[in-house]
Amino acid sequence: MMVDGLNALLRKVPTWGIYLVGALPVPWLFYQGLTGGLGVDPIKALEHEYGELALQLLLIGLAISPLRRFTGISLIRFRRAFGLLAFLYVSCHLLVWLVLDVQLPDQIWADIVKRPYITIGMIGFVVLLPLAITSNNASVRKLGPRWRQLHRLTYLAVLLGALHFVMLVKGFQIEPLIYLGVAVALLCLRIKLPSRRILA
């Protein structure tokens, strides 16, 4: 079957390859920003690129189990890589905001507490922290079933991330709403409906 063939092929892809290819845009975009490739406002552009990639990687991570359920294609081996890469991009996004964009330490704190979209983005980052720290085999063994529970926080993080995007744009814009829609859809696929009893 085609799916089996595809899965066999995917098993040959080393996970380090995903990490490598997935992390390449970090230095590449930074270099582009330095050399004018990101346009007139490289700070905002870099901040946005890192943030959007983080959101995309979180959504890919969330799509992996529905993909297997509906098509049989299994990317489960790469889910940790996508999750950790998402965390890498969220961290870069945050660093650009702190160091290159806002710059002023007192304004950073004021923004975090006063601006709801920043508060929400910041909570999203904090939620991802324990997930990144426990994304290793030792933690999976040590935490046992609690590991799965803990990692359901991804659902919250992706919603916060999409909401953060929706809240920061001006006017009525479609793109962030598409991200939020995809996130909500992927989460809805996880809701287990109680089996309905058919009454005669």
Partner 1 sequence: LAAMTGGAAQAGEGLEPNSWEDVTTYCNYYEFGTGKGDPSANAHSLTTSPWSVTIDGMVDRPGEYDFNEILSEMTIEERIYRFRCVEAWSMVVPWNGFELADLLNMAGVKDGAKYVAFETLYRPSEMPGTQYRVLDWPYREGLRLDEAMHPLTLMATGIFGKPLPNQNGAPLRLVVPWKYGFKSIKSIVRLTLTDKEPPASWNMANPGEYGFYSNVNPNVDHPRWSQASERPLGGGLFARRKPTLMFNGYEEEVAALYDGMDLTRFY
Q: Which positions touch partner 1 (CB under 8 A)?
A: 30, 33-34, 36, 39-44, 46, 100-104, 107, 110-111, 114-117, 167-174
The total of other beta-carbon atoms located within 10 Å of residue 180's CB is 19
Amino acid (1-letter code) at residue 117: Y
Query: What gap in Å lies between CA 29 and CA 189, rounded to an integer?
Result: 34
By C-beta, is 103 or 136 nearer to partner 1?
A: 103
CB 3 within 8 A of CB 73: yes
Q: Is the Cβ–Cβ distance between 29 and 48 less than 8 Å? A: no
Q: What's the rounded Cα separation, in Å, for the pair 75 and 77?
A: 5
Considering the complex, state which of residue 144 and residue 171 has its C-beta at the smaller distance from partner 1.
171
CA distance to 7, 29, 124, 194, per residue, from 68 (Å): 10, 32, 26, 22
Minimum CB distance to partner 1 smaller for 113 or for 133? 113
In the complex, minimum distance from the CB of residue 200 to partner 1, in angstroms, rounded to a whole number: 50
Nearer of residues 34 and 133 to partner 1, judged by Cβ:
34
Minimum gap (Å) between residue 168 Cβ and partner 1: 7
Minimum distance from residue 27 beta carbon to partner 1 (Å): 13
Considering the complex, what minimum distance in angstroms separates the CB of residue 56 from partner 1?
17
Q: How is residue 185 written in tokens? A: 């859809």
58/34 Cα distance (integer angstroms): 27
Question: Residue 20 or 34: which CB sits closer to partner 1?
Answer: 34
Tokens of 58: 């979180």
**How near is the Cβ of 101 to partner 1 at its closest, in Å?**
7
